Amino acid sequence: MAITTQQIKELREATGVGILECRKALEQANGDFKTAVDLLREKGLATAAKRADRQASEGVLELYTHGDGRIGVMVEVNCETDFVARSEKFRAFAHEVALQIAAAAPRYIRENDIPESELEHERNIARTRALEEGKPEAVVDKIVEGRIEKFKDEVVLLRQPYIRDENLTIEQLLLQNIASTGENIVIRRFVRWERGESTAD
């Protein structure tokens, strides 16, 4: 099947991947846009995994306020070189991460950042709730683990669905950016403030 310039252009805009890679993916997918996107994502994941151990100490501190100063976010996003740090694409990604944090209020960046004591606390709540709902003892453990996974999806930034595209997680968005910039990118740390919230534990 002949691949048109328009198809390549659309795929390039959607993924940020180079023209040749887009053409190859479309040819491999017999012109199917969605399959081509999936192929590029898979390739991006493999490429990103190879770059994950490279040093990322350049980058930006992105500041964002929302709702007339009701919510404020500061996030540090790092990359490998100053060249990428200054690029529009990298800065746009850092801005999207700040927007996500403002909108979805994650508490952690990665799953393994959650303290075990907090997970245990959530497990106890989920277990008590399942038993109170009259669930059979045999399925309670499964229900508890399901609720823990849902809890992680809510509080872990990388597991959250991207606010602009629910079919994409923030981790997938990050990996797409790693693939398209050719550098390791790390969301290092963030702080989110909401006006009037208590700072006491």
Q: What is the structure's pLDDT at 201?
A: 45
CA 145 to chain centre: 22
Q: Give the whole-angstrom CA distance, residue 47 versus residue 22.
A: 15
Residue appearing with tokens 């997680």: 169
Are residues 167 and 190 located together in one domain of the fold?
A: yes
Residues 6+ apart with CB under 8 A from 148: 119, 122, 123, 126
Are residues 63 and 105 located together in one domain of the fold?
A: yes
Closest among 197, 178, 194 to 79, alpha carbons compared: 178
Share of the chain above pLDDT 90, in %: 50
Are residues 82 and 101 located together in one domain of the fold?
A: yes
Q: Which domain holds residue 41?
A: 5-51
Are residues 36 and 106 located together in one domain of the fold?
A: no
Q: Tell me whether residue 199 is in a domain.
A: no
**Average pLDDT over every residue of 70-91:** 93
Instruction: Indicate the helix (H) or strand (E) that contains 51.
Output: helix 33-51
Amino acid at 200: A
CATH code of the domain in which 165 resides: 3.30.479.20
Confidence of residue 40 (pLDDT cuts 50, 70, 90): confident
Closest among 110, 118, 114, 111 to 188, alpha carbons compared: 110
Are residues 22 and 121 located together in one domain of the fold?
A: no
Q: Tell me whether residue 200 is in a domain.
A: no
**Average pLDDT over every residue of 30-52:** 72
Are residues 45 and 10 located together in one domain of the fold?
A: yes
Closest among 163, 48, 45, 17 to 95, alpha carbons compared: 163
What is the number of residues in the chain? 201
CB burial of residue 1 (10 Å; 0-12, 13-18, 19+):
exposed
**Average pLDDT over every residue of 73-87:** 93
Q: Tell me whether residue 31 is in a domain.
A: yes
**Average pLDDT over every residue of 9-16:** 74
Are residues 67 and 161 located together in one domain of the fold?
A: yes
Q: What is the structure's pLDDT at 48?
A: 56
Task: Give the tens place of pLDDT for each residue, 158-168.
Answer: 999 999 999 99
Are residues 119 and 132 located together in one domain of the fold?
A: yes
CATH code of the domain in which 13 resides: 1.10.8.10
Q: Tell me whether residue 172 is in a domain.
A: yes
Are residues 133 and 35 located together in one domain of the fold?
A: no
Q: Give the whole-angstrom CA distance, residue 131 versus residue 95.
A: 43
Could you give the number of structural domains in the chain?
A: 3
